[in-house]
Amino acid sequence: MKRQLLTFVFTSAMSLVALAGNWVGSWATAPEFTGEGDMPKSVSLSGNSLRQVIHVSLGSDELRLKLSNEFSNEPVEIKSVYIADPKDGDGIVPSTVRYLKFDGKSGVTIDPKGAVYSDPLKYDLKPLQLLSVTINYGEKTPKNATSHRGSRTTSYIMKGESKPKKNFEVAEKVEHWYNISALEVKADNKDCIAVIGNSITDGRGTTTDKQNRWTDVCAELLGGEVGILNLGIGGNCVVSGGLSEPAVKRFDRDVMGQSGLTGVVIYEGINDIGCSRNSEKTVGELIAAYESFISKAKAKGLKVYGGTITQLGNTDYWSEFHEAARRTVNDWIRTSGKFDGVIDFDAVIADPSNPLRMNPKYQFDWLHPNPAGYKAMGEAARVLYPERFPAADENAELQGSVASTNIPEAVYPRVLSDGRAMFRIHAPEARDVKIDICGRKYDMNKDGKGYWTVTTDPLVVGFHYYFALVDGVSVIDPSSEAFFGCGRMAGGIEIPESTADAAYYTYNPDVAHGQVRECFYNSGIEKAPRRCYVYTPAEYETSPGKRYPVLYLQHGMGEDERGWHQQGMVANILDNQIASGKCRPMIVVMDYGNCGYIHGTRRGESRDQFGASFTPIMLNEIIPFIDSTFRTLSDRDNRAMAGLSWGGHQTLVTTLRNLDRFAHIGTFSGALFLDPSKITEVYDGVFADASSFNSKVRTFFMGKGSEENFASDKISAALTGAGINNVYYESAGTHHEWLTWRRCLNEFLPLLFR
């Protein structure tokens, strides 16, 4: 039988819109009783730390967390709770840590059958981000915790109390959530939809830690502008039986108890039908339950949507009687007129050649969809907000935005709002294709047309080099611009910051723009031509009588003179700073540091030899070339040098032994190789006489990212202890990558030539 796919168009205007400043749900889960089999096996919660990760929908600058002990007969003692942006599984970004309070206190004891909210907390919660919640338990915890069994997300238990800046030593991993039940945000005029369901809504068949339930897909397509709350429970029934409390008993708490609701999706019933011994009776009970749910929701001014029940074919639930019941219930959902809209999950994931079963490309175990099936279900939820979803055309599968680092007209790679990246490569004859992002490899999936696709985990904001591995051969993605990095040409993808945070390195059409010139000169030392890039400020062409100070700016290992111009966006940073008066107009020279390969590539080359040939070229050829070609101020007070990573090492080697030539010095994540305890002995004792050093060096700057393991902070502290004037800067939440170095340059420039 061929079933026609019906198209529904419904208004999305909710009759009860969340008012400004109201609490609105951003994430929620249905609490359950925890049997012995779902409690931790090797350690208990008592006296230990539990780190859990959730995927929010709405963002905000203020939030509160709900903790539940509603299914426990004993109190649960909690010493402290802190939240943070997560990284790499059990890790967190320390700079984002914030502790929650409960009635002004760090800890709370939740009574049996009780639940508590934390005090409101200011936090930069971004839409669709992952959030880490760490609970330090006291000694009193229930034998049977209140949990959610089907988290589809790894939680981590550590013995003892955890501290944000110390390693979280994982003693056991579980795929359950304990005690957390909702995260709410202060939001202005945001809608919020609660979904009641069973294991299909709960995500059976999704990928652990990938957050690809159909509700996650829906939230993603809505751009994090609507709260989508998943209250599914695996094995749950609507009327009776099944696992955990049936929907008729939990609807008031799990759905109507959510904050800021504007709508409800009812998508449950397959377990009632599949386990039924009297199909006619089950149909009547399901419809009566649905009508009760609808009545309660509409009494509160909520919109109500129904989801049709998916297929029974090829499952243990199949029988002609059960199929007849499913069809009858679905006909009522579609035609009763009780719902404000219908999400026709049955039509979306049915096998076109056999509508009694799930489409083979969408099935996980024939009862539950696989990730592709959940994606199709999430896209089908456009009924909720048809005007907010991407257009339903041949590009409807496109999510996120085109990466700024793509070649013209390329629609992939794409960047999602939570920092994940989507890649697509056409390689019809290939047998295996991967995306390699700085050593992290992602397997791609091939479709019937020869296109390979993959969506990554969330990536940190900033610029990332990447490669495509096609049958083991590393190549550049043809859709990406090419960038020199990692010792070779590479693809690149920019994970954007917010518009405000990125403004300093973003092209601004309203300011005057300088020029970046590609210059060649002959090296007598190398007996070969060399190339440098030279930035001149906008006024350079219109002020022929004026001379300018010079900053020599070096790249890092495996990069070359193009790095700062292309990846570093140096021209935009200078243009914006000069226009705003933050820094003096200056010339910036970007030359090759003779370290454009990875150390160790050349056999027998020591660390001291790597890139060491650059310093004499800098002193004897580059500076004279620049001074003779451009209108420079050629005295030491008007000459600066800075570099990132290995370029920072080269900067110190070059400047500290030639203070007659340089008065301004900067290292950004510098490979410094200095022992802080012997700071006065390094570089021929240049730091031994602080008074002399401070009289010569006008600026001494050290910066790094908060998430990288460089010792700039310790070296800066040692220098300060030795009386050496210096400025230390730390880029919050960034690693050893270009965003750190753009931020460092942005902090360094205003200090120069004052």
Which of 7-16, 37-46, 338-347, 363-372 has the least mean pLDDT? 7-16
Give the global pTM: 0.56
CATH number, domain with residue 355:
3.40.50.1110
240-249 exposure pattern, b = at least 16 Cβ within 10 A, e = fewer? eebbbbbbbe
Query: Structure tokens of 599?
Result: 């150390």
Question: d(Cα 670, Cα 645) in Å, to the nearest integer?
Answer: 4
Q: How many CB atoms lie within 10 A of CB 4?
A: 6
Mean pLDDT of 706-718: 88
pLDDT band at residue 394, thresholds of 50, 70 and 90? very low
Question: d(Cα 347, Cα 610) in Å, to the nearest integer?
Answer: 63
Which of 122-136, 268-282, 665-679 has the least mean pLDDT? 665-679
In a domain, 502, yes or no: no
Specify the pLDDT at position 21. 59
Q: Across all residues in the chain, what is the average pLDDT?
A: 92
Whether omega before 120 lies within 30 degrees of 0, making that bond cis, reads no
Is pLDDT above 80 for 16? no
Residues 558 and 675 in one domain: yes
Name the H helices within 510-596: 563-566, 570-580
Q: Which residue has the higher pLDDT, 603 or 595?
A: 595
Residue 242, sorted as left (phi over 0), alpha (psi -120 to 50) or beta, turns out to be: left
Beta bridge partners of 443: 434
Residues 637 and 590 in one domain: yes
Q: Tens digit of pLDDT for each residue in 308-326? A: 999 999 999 999 999 999 9
pLDDT band at residue 598, thresholds of 50, 70 and 90? confident
What does the DSSP assignment read for 238-302? SSS-BSSS-HHHHIIIIITTSTT--EEEEE--HHHHHT-S-HHHHHHHHHHHHHHHHHHHHHTT-
Cβ atoms 87, 175 nearer than 8 A = no
Residues 287 and 357 in one domain: yes
Specify the pLDDT at position 671. 76
Domain boundary (447, 463, 495) is at: 495
Question: d(Cα 84, Cα 65) in Å, to the nearest integer?
Answer: 13
Number of DSSP helices (H) and strands (E) in the chain, helices first = 17, 43
Q: Which residue has the higher pLDDT, 420 or 652?
A: 652
CATH number, domain with residue 742:
3.40.50.1820
Domain boundary (128, 148, 181) is at: 181
Specify the pLDDT at position 733. 87
CATH number, domain with residue 434:
2.60.40.10
Instruction: Give the domain extent around 681.
Output: 510-751
Cβ atoms 149, 34 nearer than 8 A = yes
Q: Tens digit of pLDDT for each residue in 511-562? A: 999 999 999 999 999 999 999 999 999 999 999 999 999 999 999 999 999 9
Is pLDDT above 50 for 408? yes
Question: d(Cα 32, Cα 178) in Å, to the nearest integer?
Answer: 9
Residues 683 and 663 in one domain: yes
Q: Which residue has the higher pLDDT, 194 or 604?
A: 194
Residues 451 and 598 in one domain: no
Q: Tens digit of pLDDT for each residue in 435-487? A: 999 888 888 888 777 889 888 888 888 999 999 999 999 999 999 999 999 88
In a domain, 569, yes or no: yes
In a domain, 25, yes or no: no
pLDDT band at residue 390, thresholds of 50, 70 and 90? low
Closest by CA position to 176, among listed 152, 193, 197: 152
The torsion angles phi and psi of 298, rounded to 5 degrees, stand at -70, -25
What is the CA angle 206-249-331, rounded to 5?
Answer: 65
In a domain, 740, yes or no: yes
In a domain, 503, yes or no: no
Specify the pLDDT at position 743. 97
Percent of the chain predicted with pLDDT > 70: 96
Radius of gyration in angstroms for the set of CA atoms belonging to the chain, rounded to a whole number: 30
Residues 142 and 250 in one domain: no
pLDDT band at residue 5, thresholds of 50, 70 and 90? very low
Does residue 564 sit in helix, strand or coil?
Answer: helix
Beta bridge partners of 178: 147
The alpha carbon dihedral of 171, 173, 177, 178 has a sign of: negative
**What's the full length of the chain, in residues?**
754
Residues 376 and 252 in one domain: yes
Is pLDDT above 60 for 14? no
Residues 310 and 218 in one domain: yes
Specify the pLDDT at position 88. 84
- CA end-to-end span of the chain: 81
Question: d(Cα 269, Cα 249) in Å, to the nearest integer?
Answer: 14
Domain boundary (396, 427, 448) is at: 396
Residues 215 and 303 in one domain: yes
In a domain, 430, yes or no: yes
Closest by CA position to 644, among listed 706, 576, 554: 554
Mean pLDDT of 34-38: 94
**43 CB-side CA count, 13 A:** 19
In a domain, 585, yes or no: yes
Is pLDDT above 70 for 8? no
Mean pLDDT of 19-33: 87
Question: d(Cα 539, Cα 476) in Å, to the nearest integer?
Answer: 38
Does an H or E element contain 142, and which? Answer: none
Which of 248-252, 670-674, 701-705, 743-747 has the least mean pLDDT? 670-674
Residues 641 and 583 in one domain: yes
| Residue 621: DSSP 8-state | I
Specify the pLDDT at position 18. 34
Residues 639 and 744 in one domain: yes
Question: d(Cα 498, Cα 512) in Å, to the nearest integer?
Answer: 23
Q: Which are the contacts of 284, defined by CB distance < 8 A and separation ≥ 6?
A: none
pLDDT band at residue 398, thresholds of 50, 70 and 90? low
Residues 4 and 46 in one domain: no
In a domain, 505, yes or no: no
Q: Tens digit of pLDDT for each residue in 259-277? A: 999 999 999 999 999 999 9
Closest by CA position to 670, among listed 657, 694, 651: 651
Q: Which are the contacts of 745, defined by CB distance < 8 A and separation ≥ 6?
A: 553, 568, 570, 573, 642, 668
How many structural domains does the chain have? 4
Question: d(Cα 489, Cα 465) in Å, to the nearest integer?
Answer: 9
